[in-house]
Structure 1
C-alpha cells in the first residue's frame, strides 16, 4: 500500500518569525512521516478508521498535530490540544517504542508527556485557560486562526468544557466500554441461536440439537448463524481494517465444523446428505473469504480507501479543552493537566 507523505504545516519558516532552532524543529516535524516502517496500513488510515473520519480529514488532523507539538515546545507555556488533535496524539502514543525511542529524541529533541486531567471544577477552568492560550499562540506563530472544525473556539466559561480526557482513554471508562462490546457480541450470538431454535422447531427432550433437526430446519439454523457471523466480520473489517480477525470468523469456522459433523452423522445413519454437501461447499468458500481475503467486502466500505464519510467531527463538540493533558517543553511548570513533560 502506498505510504502517506507528511503534510506541510504552513509557510512560517521566515527567519523574521522563527529562530534557527525553531526553524529546525519546524522542518523536522514537517518532514516526519508517522507511518511505521514496513506497515501496509498508513498511520492516517488507522486514525481515520479508529475515529470514523475520512483519510483526508485524518491527514488534516495530523498536520494540526504537528503544529500542536511545535507549540508544546516553543509556546513558552503549557498547551492543550483540541479533541481531534488529542485523538491523533493518543493514536501516536499507542506505538510506545516509536514515540518514546524514535520520535521524541530524534524529532522533538526531548520527551513530551501526555498528562491527563485530575478532574474537578478548578482543573476544568485551568484547562480552559490553557486551551485559550494555546489558540492565541497558534495565531501568533502561524499567522492565522486554527481551523474551526479541528480547533473549536473556547466559547463561554471554561467550566462548560467537556472532560479533559476522552472516556476511551481513561482506565475506569475503558473497562465498561469493553464489557459493553462483549455483551453486544454475545447478545447477537444468543439472539441468532434463539431465532434459529424457534424457526428450526427444536423440541426439548429430543436428540442432541442441532442433529435432531431435519434437512430444511438444519439449513435454516445453519444459515441464520452463518449470516450473523458474516455481518460481524464485515462490521469489524469496516471499523478496524482488512487485517482484523473478528470473532465472526470463529462463528463461521464453528458452523463449518458443525456441518462436517452433521455430514458424518448423516452418513453413519444412512440418511441423504446431498443438501448438506451443497451447504458445506458454500460454507467453505465463505470461510476462505473471511480468513484469507476480503473480496466480498464492498471497496467503498474499506476504511483505507473510502471517501469522506465522517459521522461527525471528532472535535466539533469540544468547548474549552477537548482532549486535555498538556504537552510541554523545557521550563514548563505546573498549569494545565497537572504539568507538562520536561
Structure 2
C-alpha cells in the first residue's frame, strides 16, 4: 500500500484538498438528516467523513471500503447526481468516483487499509464514523447491527 507523506500531500493541499474539504451541499445534508433521522450537525460530520474518503480514494491505489455510515452518505450524495458529477469534476480533478459494489467490498482488511490511509492523510478522523477494527466490524460492514461499533450513529428506523 502506498502512503503519501505530509510533504507530498501539502504540495496538493491548496489545489485539491482544501477546496474539497470546504465544499458543502445543503440539499445532500438535508436529505441525509431526514433519511437517517439525525441533526444537520450530525449530517455535516458524516459529510466531512465522506469527503475525507473522497480524498483517500483519489490518492489510494487498490480497493477501498468505507464504513456503513460513510457509505450511507455516499448513497445520499449519489441521489443528487448532477451535484455529485459536478463535485467530482471540480474537486477531484475530473475523476469520477464510482460506487461499485464487489464481492469482497465488505472485507475488513480493505476497510482497515482504507481507514489507515485516511488516518495518514488527515490529522484526525472521526472514530465514531470510521470505527476502528473490532470483533463486530465485519458484521457492521456487511449491513448488520453497527451499534456496538458506533453507538451514537443515527439510522433510519432507529
Q: Same fold (TM over 0.5)?
A: yes
Sort the Cα spacing of 1:76 and 1:19 in 2 relative to 1 into closer, same or farther, 3 A.
farther
Match of 2:25 among 6, 28, 34: 34
- Equivalences for 1:126-275 in 2 at 5 Å? 127-144=107-124, 146-156=125-135, 159-163=138-142
Write out per-residue CA displacement over residues 297-317 of structure 1, whole angstroms, 9 at most, x where no aligned residue: xxxxxxxxxxxxxx95148xx
Aligned partners of 1:16 and 1:105: how far apart in 2?
A: 25
Q: Contact 2:46–2:69 at 8 Å: present in 1 too?
A: yes
Write out per-residue CA displacement over residues 93-121 of structure 1, whole angstroms, 9 at most, x where no aligned residue: 00112212x11111112111001133xxx
Aligned partners of 1:140 and 1:26: how far apart in 2?
A: 14
Write out per-residue CA displacement over residues 60-90 of structure 1, whole angstroms, 9 at most, x where no aligned residue: 1111111110000012332222111111111
Match of 1:20 among 7, 11, 16: 11
Sort the Cα spacing of 1:85 and 1:143 in 2 relative to 1 into closer, same or farther, 3 A.
same
Q: Contact 1:80–1:130 at 8 Å: present in 2 too?
A: yes
Q: Contact 1:128–1:158 at 8 Å: present in 2 too?
A: yes
Alignment gaps of 5+ in structure 1: 1-14, 36-41, 166-310, 316-342
Tell me the residue number matched to 1:99: 84
Alignment gaps of 5+ in structure 2: 1-5, 145-150
RMSD: 2.8
Sort the Cα spacing of 1:33 and 1:159 in 2 relative to 1 into closer, same or farther, 3 A.
closer
Structure number with larger C-alpha Rg? 1
Sort the Cα spacing of 1:82 and 1:159 in 2 relative to 1 into closer, same or farther, 3 A.
closer
TM-superposed deviation, 1:148: 2.1
Write out per-residue CA displacement over residues 27-74 of structure 1, whole angstroms, 9 at most, x where no aligned residue: 221232223xxxxxx432221111011111111111111111000001
Match of 2:47 among 56, 62, 69: 62
Q: What's the TM-score once normalised by structure 1's chain length?
A: 0.38
Tell me the residue number matched to 1:300: none
Q: Contact 1:22–1:74 at 8 Å: present in 2 too?
A: no
